[in-house]
């Protein structure tokens, strides 16, 4: 089944079935609006960047608290995933950070 992850207008991400267009899962945990939601190729790891200055790493297969990586001093404008599984985040604080997604640490 094809899926789509999208931020809503509050602090959550919603996972939709592309065919059914129904909400399959809601992920909550940011303190402010979510601005970026890239998903890995297997569509099981979701990354979210928010106005709360935090990047969260979610595992869609299990219902546990997301891993949090912080280091930005202003809102996170974009998040991307590299081919080798690292995460890149860009912020309004004029920094770009590279993260090891498996460890939740800045590289």
Mean pLDDT by 10 residues, the chain (107 residues): 58 78 82 85 81 88 79 94 88 94 81
Buried b (16+ CB within 10 A) or exposed e, 65-85: ebbebebbeebbeebebeeee
8 A C-beta contact, residue 34 and residue 18: no
For residue 98, the SS3 value is strand
pLDDT given for residue 47 in this prediction: 86
Q: Is 90 exposed, middle or buried (0-12, 13-18, 19+ CB in 10 A)?
A: middle
Distance CA 59, CA 42 (A): 11
pTM over 0.75: yes
pLDDT given for residue 40 in this prediction: 76
């Amino acid at each position: 089944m094809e899926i789509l992850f999208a931020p809503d207008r509050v602090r959550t991400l919603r996972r939709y079935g592309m065919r059914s267009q129904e909400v399959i899962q809601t992920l909550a945990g940011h303190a402010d609006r979510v601005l970026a939601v890239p998903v890995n190729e297997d569509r099981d790891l979701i990354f979210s960047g928010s106005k709360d200055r935090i990047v969260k790493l979610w595992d869609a297969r299990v219902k546990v608290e997301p891993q949090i990586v912080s280091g930005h001093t202003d809102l996170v404008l974009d998040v991307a995933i590299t081919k080798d599984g690292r995460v890149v985040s860009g912020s309004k604080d004029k920094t770009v950070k590279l993260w090891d997604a498996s460890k939740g640490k800045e590289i």
